[in-house]
Structure 1
């Protein structure tokens, strides 16, 4: 499923190493590019010794047999091809389908962080979403190599452009937050039973590829030291009390990906869908209760809520009742 850049955006060619193409051939070069760009459509331009990114490849939308039918509940006449665009502001929370738009919503809070310098992101998600980006690091900051546009994580329009180009995706939208002018502290409530709940320092890092010479891409790494160069912190695990322990002061945003509660497909084509039984819904309610009880017990003041439904991960079969259960507790 291909989503080209907005018509006003010229798509630049990203140069690749000439010797790699000549020695390995087009087929292996395409496979190498695929491993770098992940879920992004692209085309190899052999004569120009480069490739162009053509936007997000959301093949995983075809996995869920309930997705097409559910879309009309959110916007009349919506089709699968419209999913990437969808985002809305509700009374209690911001809502998007594709999780990359969560960064778009967060931009406002980075830009107007009046109450405190730090941003605390309570992140309920089956994934970290802290992979390397395809944003280029230059002496002037971050740049989208596909469009040549600069990227500021506190500017909504920059997120929109980078999402459509494919430089930021569902697995990397948290990473650019650590390139803002504020310290960012992610407290990640996940489903991993093996977490040690260590508090990590987050360091900005260059990510380089042999195939793409002379370019450095924005990434982050977790460290137990090097606090002087900290862009913020990270702690993760499945115990809400341990994850939120000693949470720093700052503007608190809760981000919820529905796949934290139910991850039917995990983006994998060919995964069979099984109707949920009563026990599954009961388990979800229990997780919700534990989370909201912890917020109340710790007297966490939440400034804003963001929810992503994650098509191709959490089946649209669950969305309505999950959103209702969450909204009832937010109010």
Structure 2
């Protein structure tokens, strides 16, 4: 893995480890849990400093009670300056910008909190009003934690005590970061014994054009205006809207001489409608609802910048790859090991630009940059990238990419060269979409390649670059997603589990692959992979990856 001088310098600061062992969630609101924030000696030093503060102010309201100390007005030992000073705040800010794909202002606020037995905080969301801070990082410090002590951080899907999403244990040297919104419901259970210390870092987001989360858990209803210059009549305007938003269902709300306005409603594939158990399995297996489907993803960070993504919709894989590219600065070749019932090489409704890594989003003025995960995330959240068109933006970009597409059937291995072509928008919009062209392979080691093969080809894959391991669960069964019964792949749950073991064995047998996997992405693919298999198949896949790929060994202990 490569990194620049600036990235290396940042790692030398004590707070540079925040995301080294962290897990990010996109639903019910964006948050992450960091399991080891500082080196143990630094954490103990900072805990002892908080214990030495003798001037605490009681802050209480209708739903909370705690003691606070503003560190801006506290003398602290020179040895602690690097842990609470300007450089520390800058490093925490950088970690939150990385985690939440945002830009934060330079201003910040750091407050020490102390909670004693009998104190707690009720359910609230910290929804920021104009001028309020927008992102927060809570760093827990104290003695060895026992659940009987109380003081757990409780996260909720809705503002009701029986809708708990997760219970976070406030262990010493752990942390919790979140983006505040109308959906960020949380609380702190009553302290029963001991004293709970924490440092709370608050930041303000720079002005940004982002979809806000509505209280029901999905982005607030969005609209798109198709001007008459883009759609000369209502039918053409409708075609434009449908082409630009493959993951939305545009509904016309107004039409006049200047154009048409469409509301962008969630889109459901026929497979989603066929899978009767989907709502139940979403809640039971991943703790999400259908309305939260588009935002759901869980990203875990491992040593050496390795990443693991678990998602519902497959296009979030592009976001994880973009995260890794941004963090490492990698500009060399890549391998993409793609296990899927589909090739996912369709053309996305993006307009090519003069830069091979950048695309414009028609009618919005926004840009998608494959090296900027914030732009990728916003394009996905707005329904601009479909589940079958998220690979194309990487083809012809700064990184040469060699794709091995392992399909469920036994097929003869075949290799072609791939490059970026262009094709017009079907709706007649100006500009050209990226297209993946396939040509006979020639003796040119600079060309990207696409190989179609079977599971056995994983074991013999020659690895000379970082690997993006991409698994769509419909590789193991696409029963609900295949309209043609002859195209269905389904051998029942035992067949799915057997295929998972086979994949794990092939991964484990390729030593070079084990050492070079940089990102693992797993998509449950609602509407393709039957949800009735999720509860057994998801842990089976994660355990197989943990056994086969040593850098991801802790993946087997699901949180």
TM-score, normalized by the shorter chain, greater than 0.5:
yes
Is 1:316 the counterpart of 2:521? The answer is no
1:13 to 199, 203, 226: 226
CA distance in 1, matches of 2:274, 2:422: 34
CA distance in 2, matches of 1:168, 1:231: 25
The structure whose residues are more often strand, as a share, is 2
Q: CA deviation at 1:62?
A: 3.1
State the match for 1:206 in structure 2: 422
State the match for 2:353 in structure 1: 138
State the match for 1:174 in structure 2: 391
CA distance in 2, matches of 1:232, 1:125: 19
State the match for 2:249 in structure 1: 41
CA distance in 1, matches of 2:460, 2:438: 19
CA distance in 2, matches of 1:58, 1:6: 20
Q: CA deviation at 1:136?
A: 0.8
The change in CA–CA distance for 1:143 and 1:27 in structure 2 (over 3 A counts) is: closer
The change in CA–CA distance for 1:28 and 1:182 in structure 2 (over 3 A counts) is: closer
CA distance in 1, matches of 2:318, 2:265: 17
Question: Any conservation in 1 of the 2:312–2:524 contact (CA below 8 Å)?
Answer: yes
State the match for 1:158 in structure 2: 375
Worse overlay, 307-316 or 180-189: 180-189
State the match for 2:457 in structure 1: 242
Is 1:251 the counterpart of 2:462? The answer is no
The change in CA–CA distance for 1:81 and 1:223 in structure 2 (over 3 A counts) is: same
Q: CA deviation at 1:213?
A: 4.2
1:191 counterpart SS class: coil
CA distance in 2, matches of 1:297, 1:179: 31
CA distance in 2, matches of 1:165, 1:51: 16
Q: CA deviation at 1:203?
A: 0.9
State the match for 1:291 in structure 2: 503
Unaligned stretches of 5+ in structure 1? none
1:247 counterpart SS class: coil
Worse overlay, 37-46 or 152-161: 37-46
Q: How does 1:80-229 map to 2 (within 5 A)?
A: 80-90=290-300, 93-113=308-328, 117-140=332-355, 141-193=358-410, 195-209=411-425, 211-225=427-441
Q: How many residue pairs align between the two structures? A: 311
CA distance in 1, matches of 2:281, 2:334: 34
Q: Per-residue displacement from partner, 1:53-96 (whole Å, max 9, x unpaired)?
A: 836522443331111112223565x3211111111124783211
Q: CA deviation at 1:98?
A: 0.8
Q: Per-residue displacement from partner, 1:209-250 (whole Å, max 9, x unpaired)?
A: 36324321122121114776966221113x223366453411
Worse overlay, 27-36 or 149-158: 27-36
Question: Any conservation in 2 of the 1:187–1:244 contact (CA below 8 Å)?
Answer: no
RMSD: 3.4
Larger Rg: 2
CA distance in 2, matches of 1:181, 1:161: 21
CA distance in 1, matches of 2:225, 2:236: 22
The change in CA–CA distance for 1:12 and 1:159 in structure 2 (over 3 A counts) is: farther
Q: CA deviation at 1:47?
A: 3.0
CA distance in 2, matches of 1:264, 1:186: 25
Question: Any conservation in 2 of the 1:116–1:251 contact (CA below 8 Å)?
Answer: no
CA distance in 2, matches of 1:158, 1:115: 18
CA distance in 1, matches of 2:523, 2:332: 26
State the match for 2:64 in structure 1: none
CA distance in 2, matches of 1:91, 1:138: 32
2:283 to 62, 67, 72: 72
Q: Per-residue displacement from partner, 1:293-323 (whole Å, max 9, x unpaired)?
A: 2223231222332111011111221111111
Question: Any conservation in 2 of the 1:178–1:231 contact (CA below 8 Å)?
Answer: no
Is 1:265 the counterpart of 2:480? The answer is yes
1:6 counterpart SS class: coil
Q: Per-residue displacement from partner, 1:234-278 (whole Å, max 9, x unpaired)?
A: 1113x223366453411112111111101121175x99xxxx8xx
The change in CA–CA distance for 1:13 and 1:117 in structure 2 (over 3 A counts) is: same
